[in-house]
Structure 1
Amino acid sequence: MARQLNKKLRWYVASVCMGFATIVFATISFATTASAFNAPTGRVVLEVGGNIEITNVGDEAHFDKAMLEALSQHTTITSTPWHDGVVSFEGPLGRAILEAVDADGDQVKVIALNDYASSIPVSDFYDHDVILAMSADGKPLRVRDHGPLFVIYPFDETPSLLNEEILTRSVWQVKRVVIE
């Protein structure tokens, strides 16, 4: 009887230890995953800083083209004051970028190559399908075409967005965003 009780006790202790080890391993794995993702292998086209939890270069998240293409993509077909006619823009949803870095803030400061900056409320990215366009009519946006990234709102879908306040948020030649 004592031998059988001892065997059950050992089994119980082993089970508890294995369960504890599994929890510790899962916690470490989650913490590692939640704090970093792979560094870009191509040319960096977007730097994200500020109040973010998930990073890959120091305390920032850097994205190359392939990394941005791996995020949830969206096509916005709209006219803009800067283009003739209707254009089909494609790129990651702004909210997909915010979620990829686990952003925590109320404002997204968007900075262009020429250091022009505009602040966009985080709510804009969830209230509208705002994208960081990487292409227009199927062609990659070059710097001369307002690229490599261009903040595009769905102006034709929601005509009330076509106002001076929103137009100043439509930053082109985006190089960096800072979550505030």
Structure 2
Amino acid sequence: MLSSQAIALEVPEGPVILVVSGKVGQPNVGDEAHFDKAMLKALEQHETITHTPWYDGVTRFSGPLGRAILEAAGAEGKKMRVIALNDYAATIPVSDFEHYDVIFAMQANGKALRVRDQGPLFVIYPFDQYPALMNEEILVRAVWQVARIDVE
């Protein structure tokens, strides 16, 4: 379980690109935590340079750490359902975010991820740093076009 920071989330000013629902202790819209691009950029950022099955060669991904998003939302669950714009969903244990620097990539090789490029958010694991993560169980958790996280 992640410890939540005792900060209140501001209401997003720009278009909402991520909604965190479920066991959320720091909601900012009803009982959900909504994030716009600026809010996500204000969280702790990380860069992961890795090979993936979806890009040729090594790619430099950057974006907020998954654990930073959960902390900002005051998430209290053990697992989360990460849901894409097309309703594809994968269940990811919160422990993945505690043990690895899993990011919600907003950029690849310095360019913003658009919907057609698997954006606006793409769950990226540090595959090259931990080669054992390159397996089917983890690859299905690398959700792209992320729109929602439901914390359970």
The interval holding the TM-score normalised by the smaller chain is: over 0.9
Aligned length: 148
- Higher RCO (CA-CA < 8 Å; seq separation 6+): 2
More helix per residue: 1
Name the counterpart of 1:121. Answer: 93
More strand per residue: 2
Decide whether the 8 Å contact of 1:89 with 1:137 is kept in 2: yes
Question: Which of 76, 79, 86 is the aligned partner of 2:48?
Answer: 76
Superposed displacement of residue 36, structure 1: 3.9
Decide whether the 8 Å contact of 1:35 with 1:55 is kept in 2: no
TM-score, normalization by structure 2: 0.95
Structure 2: state its 5+ residue gaps: none
Deviations 1:16-75 (A, max 9, x none): xxxxxxxxxxxxxxxxx9484211000111000000110110000100000000000000
Percent identical pairs in the alignment equals 66
Extract structure 1 runs of 4+ deviating beyond 4 A. Answer: none
Question: Which of 57, 66, 86 is the aligned partner of 2:38?
Answer: 66
Distance 1:36 1:154 in 2: 30
Structure 1: state its 5+ residue gaps: 1-32
Name the counterpart of 1:42. Answer: 14
Superposed displacement of residue 108, structure 1: 1.2
Distance 1:58 1:35 in 2: 17
Say if 1:58 and 1:36 are closer, same or farther in 2 by CA, change over 3 A. Answer: farther
